[in-house]
Amino acid sequence: MEIQGRENFREAFVRFAVERQALRFGEFVTKAGRKSPYFFNAGLFHDGDSLARFSQFYAQALLASGLSFDMLFGPAYKGIPLVSALAVALSARGLCLPFAYNRKEEKDHGEKGALIGAPIAGRTLIVDDVISAGTSVRESVELITAAGGIPAGVLIALDRRERGAGMASAVEEVEQRYNIPVIAVATLDHLINFLAEGSDPKLASCLEAVSAYRARYGTSQSA
């Protein structure tokens, strides 16, 4: 699925997420205790069609980045269906890659250990939905490094471009701490562009709230 026409695939992804109600508007409390006017939950792409389309957006963003990598890794739990679907989407584009994921609790029987799938080797891309506190990335980097791989970057769906404890966002902190790029299918800017279009009258009042939230909590990237 390639997005054609005037709308680029990033803003098309925002539209798709809104249509599937994975991206919602209202009043939500974030992990940081902030009242956010929007909320994204990739777990709501919970049927075959929506997951297939979601994975195509991931594939487009990844290939557009030009990042060099050898395999994929999905952190438990949300990263497991995402990395599996992305591997299938990339294969359909002629790029067949190995992938692995972890379990939260190590098994002491059967295949044992915390890792499942292909052996970790080479430049390994982490596939997740969002970065909040960066805990999932830290755990993934530790697992990949311990297995002999090299973390190559992180692929996520939405970058909120929102300050953490300091002036940098969670995404910027990950990039600085591990010296790896974070690739997002869409950012807060694409979300605001979608709302500014006014194509959905029901969402017209949301633009002011999201813009005000960005002005209060946004990073220099989203200024």
Which of 107, 112, 190, 202 is labelled catalytic? 107
Q: Using one digit for the tens of pLDDT, what is the confidence trace for 138-168?
A: 999 999 999 999 999 999 999 999 987 788 9
Catalytic site includes residue 104: no
Q: Using one digit for the tens of pLDDT, what is the confidence trace for 180-217?
A: 999 999 999 999 999 998 778 888 889 999 999 999 99
pTM of the model: 0.90
pLDDT of residue 112: 57
Average pLDDT, the chain: 90
Query: Domain 9-222, what architecture?
Result: 3-Layer(aba) Sandwich (3.40)
Q: Using one digit for the tens of pLDDT, what is the confidence trace for 29-63?
A: 987 788 999 999 999 999 999 999 999 999 999 99
Which of 31, 109, 112, 202 is labelled catalytic? 109
3-state secondary structure the chain: CCCCCCCCHHHHHHHHHHHCCCEEEEEEECCCCCEEEEEECHHHCCCHHHHHHHHHHHHHHHHHHCCCCCEEEECCCCHHHHHHHHHHHHHHCCCCCCEEEEEEEEECCCCCEEEEECCCCCEEEEECCCCCCCHHHHHHHHHHHHCCCEEEEEEEEEECCEECCCCCEHHHHHHHHHCCCEEEEEEHHHHHHHHHHCCCHHHCCHHHHHHHHHHHHECHHHC
Catalytic site includes residue 46: no
